[in-house]
Amino acid sequence: MKKYFSRITGALLLLVGPNLWIGAFGTEVPSGRSHEPEALSLPTGERQLFLDDHLIAKTEDLKRTLHQPDKKGAVIVPDRPWEVSLQTRCAPAWDPEQGLYKLWLITSTRISDDAGATYAESQDGVHWTKPNLGQREIEGSLENNFVALDPAMKWPENAIENVVYDGEDPEPSRRFKGFLGCYDREPIFSRDGIHWSRPGLPKIPSQDESNLSYDPRTRTFIATLKQTGPFGRSHGLSTSRDFLAWTTPELVFHADEEDQVRAKQNIEERVANSELAPPLHFDPTAYKADIYNLPIFRYEGLYLALPAVFHTTYLGDDGDDGFHMIQLACSRDLHQWTRVGDRQTFIGPSDKGIGAYDTMQILPPSAPVMHGDEMWFYYTGIKYRSMPKDPDPTWGAICLATLRRDGFLSLDAGDRPGSLITKPFTATGRTIHVNVDSGTGSLIIEVLDEEGSPIAESLPIIGDFSDAVAKWKWGDLENLNTRVLSLRFTLRNASLYSFWLTD
pLDDT for position 297: 98
Residue type at position 445:
I
Residue 237, beta-bridge partner list: 224, 250
Instruction: Enter the DSSP assignment of 423.
Output: P
CATH 2.60.120 assigned to 414-502? yes
Instruction: Enter the DSSP assignment of 146.
Output: B
10 Å CB burial of residue 96 (0-12, 13-18, 19+) is: exposed
Alpha-carbon span 405 to 299, nearest angstrom: 11
Nearest to 24 by CA among 236, 205, 228, 225: 236
Half-sphere exposure for 32 (CA within 13 Å, toward CB): 8
211-258 per-position pLDDT tens digit: 999 999 999 999 999 999 999 999 999 999 999 999 999 999 999 999
Per CATH, 70-409 and 414-502 having the same topology is answered: no
- Omega of the bond prior to 156 within 30 degrees of 0, cis? yes
C-alpha to C-alpha distances, 420 to 35, 60, 291, 379, 447, nearest whole angstrom: 23, 7, 34, 34, 12
Which positions ≥6 away from 249 have C-beta within 8 Å?
204, 205, 206, 223, 225, 227, 236, 237, 238
pLDDT for position 318: 86
Nearest to 104 by CA among 80, 127, 122, 124: 122
458-500 per-position pLDDT tens digit: 999 999 999 999 999 999 887 665 679 999 999 999 999 999 9
Nearest 5°: phi and psi at 223?
A: -115, 135
Residue type at position 260:
Q
349-365 per-position pLDDT tens digit: 999 999 999 999 999 99
28-85 per-position pLDDT tens digit: 333 333 444 579 999 999 999 999 999 999 999 999 999 999 999 999 999 999 999 9
Alpha-carbon span 304 to 334, nearest angstrom: 9
pTM of the model: 0.91
**In this model, does residue 328 exceed pLDDT 80?**
yes
Alpha-carbon span 53 to 336, nearest angstrom: 14
Kindly report the CA angle at 181 between 315 and 393, in degrees rounded to 5? 55
Half-sphere exposure for 54 (CA within 13 Å, toward CB): 19
Alpha-carbon span 78 to 127, nearest angstrom: 14
CATH 3.20.20.70 assigned to 70-409? no
Residue 117, beta-bridge partner list: 106
Strand 288-293 relative to strand 63-66: parallel, antiparallel, unpaired?
Answer: unpaired
In whole numbers, what is the pLDDT of the chain averaged over residues? 92
Alpha-carbon span 414 to 102, nearest angstrom: 43
Q: Where are the domains of the chain?
A: 70-409, 414-502
Q: In the chain, what percentage of residues exceed pLDDT 90?
A: 87
Half-sphere exposure for 367 (CA within 13 Å, toward CB): 28
182-211 per-position pLDDT tens digit: 999 999 999 999 999 999 999 999 999 999
Average the pLDDT over 394-417 and give the result.
98
At residue 259, the 3 state secondary structure works out as helix
Alpha-carbon span 378 to 363, nearest angstrom: 10
Instruction: Enter the DSSP assignment of 185.
Output: B
**In this model, does residue 261 exceed pLDDT 90?**
yes
